[in-house]
Amino acid sequence: MSSIAIVGAGPGLGAAVARRFGREGYGVALLARDGERLGALAEQLAGEGVRARGFAADVRDPLALAGALARAAEELGTVEILQYSPVPQRDFMLPVLETTHADLFGPVEFSVYGPVAAVQQVLPGMRELGRGTILFVNGGTAVIPHPERAGTSIAFAAESAYGHLLHDRLAAEGIHVAQLVIPGAIVAGHARKDPAVLADTLWGMHRDRHGFRHYADDLES
């Protein structure tokens, strides 16, 4: 039995992905900072027939994140799919000329140290399975930097580079690495950016295993 670990799970995209992959028979590990909210979400999903459990961890604490992923694998089965999709904090989005080196600590912890710690934790299990998928979910600044959102622009670019390097190096091992860029906000009812639609997109990326970067919508949206 294998599982999907959703880092940054919440009631929107995270819950939709949990439902989509849960319908395919995967156990679902929900990771975020608030353990109480995760417990409520896991209970809701369980009522819908999804085998889900919450594991509290802050992505800015690499050891805690790795530990939560290890517990998830023990309780739900080897992590075959890792989705890294936490929502950045507002204080990461300062104008570039107001951004000091200290202001970049948080974004880099969030979008570089966190993903690296998560991947390093789950990669041995994927290799043992002989298959796996790593999905990075980012906003539009991962592609087009925004001068008013310097922290995420810089950190997302680094996360994108890391993901692309993984994509190139792990393909031969049966491990697919891909990125979904979601321009603007996730909007309920939107033809392309509704959470359930995005969850279907992510399922298709996992299933079809084609290319690294995918776009949920036009970058101008």
Q: What is the pLDDT of residues 196-214, one digit of tens each?
A: 999 999 999 999 999 999 9
User: What is the pLDDT, as a whole number, of residue 220?
Assistant: 73
Q: Which is nearest to 106 in space by CA: 155, 71, 70?
A: 155
Please report the sign of the dihedral spanned by the C-alpha atoms of residue 96, residue 183, residue 40, residue 50.
negative
| 181 beta partners | 138, 215
For residues 188-199, one letter each, b for 16 or more C-beta atoms within 10 angstroms of the residue's C-beta and e for the rest, the string is: eebeebbbbbbb
The whole-model pTM stands at 0.96
> Taking 90 as the threshold, does the pLDDT of residue 113 lie above it?
yes
Return d(Cα 99, Cα 50) in angstroms, integer. 43
Least Cα distance to 70 among 36, 40, 29 occurs for: 29
